Chains A and B, each alone.
Chain A
């Protein structure tokens, strides 16, 4: 199992992580090692075995549809990088304007 540059670029984009192409060779080496570890899974016979996504075979509990939290907008926004008039600010997303 070995990742191509193209695959690594795609994964990095899916994960929204900018990766300097100079780091590709080293990173690919590390990731290939980890992927190599996975080969062992192919040796296991899992015919008829149900996937286990969670250690507890529980159903999700539900609660009454009531408001339990108080509004703490200002407190919640104290840690935000950029806020104006109670709104989180990000760079402009509408294209074609400067």
Chain B
């Protein structure tokens, strides 16, 4: 068995009992990246030298008997997380030459636990997309079938973990950008409660929705990694000052009697038969595990997509105003005057999807439309959050498919924004309400994985991880891996 075939947990065990060293493990991944990534394109930057240096330090700590919590585990970071002195592009031409002058809190926390950074992963430009086709650095291929997309926006993170080009990867989720690629690439992905993971140094898209999380091969791996990333950060004013529970202990909690809600409106959507079937089979698995199933209602669910596509672009139009070609990033050639510098820099530096969203957001916030769109959407957002509050009075978690289908072919949806946006129909509501959500594999159709989503109440990541972990103790979907 190759070292990259082990889960993160198994690798930690192996490092601890000296079955192999972090240098061997890191070299194994670097070798595989060189051999396999040219056809997948999951990395924008591979930090080989840094990785080997970090691995050596981890090995020294193991030898001296004072290893750190995640010492020597090679992971990849989504290129949205600032990494000091390392290229941080956010998948955009605008930042194609940007070396971050500081590291994000997520990256720093993981470095402090001994994690080895293999590199930075490809993503949809500024995290706007569901197929990883909007990246300035080229499309990412789905390792299960190279004609298909890996999902997005964390498509590079998902593809690299799925192809075993990293033990795990960090990711972010504004409307489904962790859970949807997790589903399409056969991985476990968790988006924690808004405020659980610091956003400091995580390049902003829509600040009231963005949240960092992880993509891993098992729920157990997700629990280990998330525990080290979470926690209060004085540098992020929206970071929750609430103690982080021990997720690795919580995943063992019994789920007998767990109340699972099925929103009838989700199942009334047009879902393909294979998605419906694998979801129903997953429900049976939970029944066998002793969970109780209850139908619930989400009367305002239809508002999620329009609310999201008013609020996320509105927030992005404000956040992305900082890219003006003055202090960092791309600048157009020979600007005639300051205005020309701004306007051409932003036209040339941003791709079509980012420009579409900035324009929509600018429109929704402009005089005369603010009340009709922005304020109205914020009120509708409250209605959706209220639906969740009501549901959690009677159930512990809410179950649905993660996506309306398996992966799709590259080029299939890129010219139809609305069709692309529908990818996130099941994942967006959790972001609007700031709630944690997890996706994990629950089936396979024509050689492509399918994901199951559970959404939990605020700060109940432990419950989600435990429910996913128990599912993985009696099913094998998460053990399937693409052949490359």
A 5-21 binary contact with B (CB < 8 Å = 1; else 0): 00110111011111100
In-complex Cβ contact of A81 among B237, B303, B325, B358 (8 A)? B325
Task: Let me know if A31 and B359 touch, CB within 8 A.
Answer: yes
A33 at the interface (CB under 8 A from B): yes
Task: Let me know if A40 and B303 touch, CB within 8 A.
Answer: yes
Task: Let me know if B383 and A44 touch, CB within 8 A.
Answer: yes
Task: Let me know if A41 and B380 touch, CB within 8 A.
Answer: yes
| A interface bracket (residues with beta carbon within 8 Å of B) | 35 or more
B326 at the interface (CB under 8 A from A): yes
Bound together, the chains give a CA A19 to CA B346 distance in angstroms of: 10
- Check A14/B366 contact, CB under 8 A, given A63-B234, A88-B327: yes
Q: Which residues of A contact B (CB under 8 A)?
A: 3, 7-8, 10-12, 14-19, 27, 30-31, 33-35, 37-42, 44, 46, 49-56, 58, 60-61, 63, 72, 75-82, 88, 90-93
B 407-444 binary contact with A (CB < 8 Å = 1; else 0): 00000000001100100000000001111000000000
Bound together, the chains give a CA A24 to CA B448 distance in angstroms of: 38
What residues of chain B lie closer than 8 Å to A91, measured between beta carbons? Answer: 335-338, 340-341
Task: Let me know if A11 and B366 touch, CB within 8 A.
Answer: yes
Lowest 5 A-B CB distances belong to which pairs? A55-B434, A51-B378, A81-B331, A46-B379, A18-B343
Task: Let me know if B307 and A41 touch, CB within 8 A.
Answer: yes
Bound together, the chains give a CA A33 to CA B415 distance in angstroms of: 12
What residues of chain B lie closer than 8 Å to A33, measured between beta carbons? Answer: 417-418
B375 at the interface (CB under 8 A from A): yes
What residue of chain B has the Cβ atom nearest to residue A49's Cβ? B379
Task: Let me know if B328 and A80 touch, CB within 8 A.
Answer: yes
- Check A18/B101 contact, CB under 8 A, given A31-B356, A34-B418, A88-B326: no
What residues of chain B lie closer than 8 Å to A40, measured between beta carbons? Answer: 302-303, 305-306
For chain B residues 188-232, which have a beta carbon within 8 Å of chain A?
194-195, 208-209
Bound together, the chains give a CA A11 to CA B356 distance in angstroms of: 11
Task: Let me know if B375 and A51 touch, CB within 8 A.
Answer: yes
Task: Let me know if B343 and A41 touch, CB within 8 A.
Answer: no
Task: Let me know if A44 and B300 touch, CB within 8 A.
Answer: yes
What residue of chain A has the Cβ atom nearest to residue B239's Cβ? A61
- Check A16/B343 contact, CB under 8 A, given A38-B373, A41-B377: yes
B277 at the interface (CB under 8 A from A): no
Bound together, the chains give a CA A55 to CA B360 distance in angstroms of: 22
The distance from the CB of B172 to the nearest CB of chain A, in whole angstroms, is 15
What residues of chain A lie closer than 8 Å to B432, measured between beta carbons? Answer: 55
Q: Report the interface size for chain B: residues with CB under 8 A from the other chain.
A: 70
- Check A46/B376 contact, CB under 8 A, given A91-B337, A93-B338: yes
Task: Let me know if A80 and B327 touch, CB within 8 A.
Answer: yes
Task: Let me know if B208 and A53 touch, CB within 8 A.
Answer: yes
Q: Which residues of B contact A (CB under 8 A)?
A: 97-99, 101, 194-195, 208-209, 234, 237-238, 240-241, 300, 302-303, 305-307, 309-310, 317, 321, 324-331, 335-344, 346-347, 350, 355-356, 358-360, 362-363, 366, 373, 375-383, 385, 417-418, 421, 432-435
What residues of chain B lie closer than 8 Å to A46, measured between beta carbons? Answer: 376, 379-380, 382-383
Bound together, the chains give a CA A19 to CA B339 distance in angstroms of: 13
The distance from the CB of B338 to the nearest CB of chain A, in whole angstroms, is 5
**CB-defined A-B contacts under 8 Å, sample of 28:** A7-B363, A14-B366, A15-B362, A17-B355, A18-B346, A27-B356, A30-B356, A31-B360, A31-B363, A34-B309, A37-B306, A37-B418, A38-B306, A38-B373, A40-B305, A41-B377, A42-B376, A44-B379, A46-B376, A46-B382, A52-B378, A53-B208, A54-B434, A55-B433, A76-B101, A77-B327, A79-B328, A81-B325
* Apart from the given pairs A38-B310, A46-B376, A60-B237, 5 other A-B contacts in the complex at a CB distance below 8 Å: A14-B362, A34-B356, A51-B379, A80-B328, A91-B335
In-complex Cβ contact of A41 among B99, B303, B363, B418 (8 A)? B303
- Check A50/B324 contact, CB under 8 A, given A55-B194, A56-B434, A91-B341: no
Task: Let me know if A37 and B309 touch, CB within 8 A.
Answer: yes
Bound together, the chains give a CA A72 to CA B102 distance in angstroms of: 10
The distance from the CB of A41 to the nearest CB of chain B, in whole angstroms, is 5
What residue of chain A has the Cβ atom nearest to residue B355's Cβ? A17
Bound together, the chains give a CA A52 to CA B241 distance in angstroms of: 21
Bound together, the chains give a CA A44 to CA B305 distance in angstroms of: 13
The distance from the CB of B391 to the nearest CB of chain A, in whole angstroms, is 16
What residue of chain B has the Cβ atom nearest to residue A75's Cβ? B101
What residues of chain B lie closer than 8 Å to A8, measured between beta carbons? Answer: 359
The distance from the CB of A9 to the nearest CB of chain B, in whole angstroms, is 11
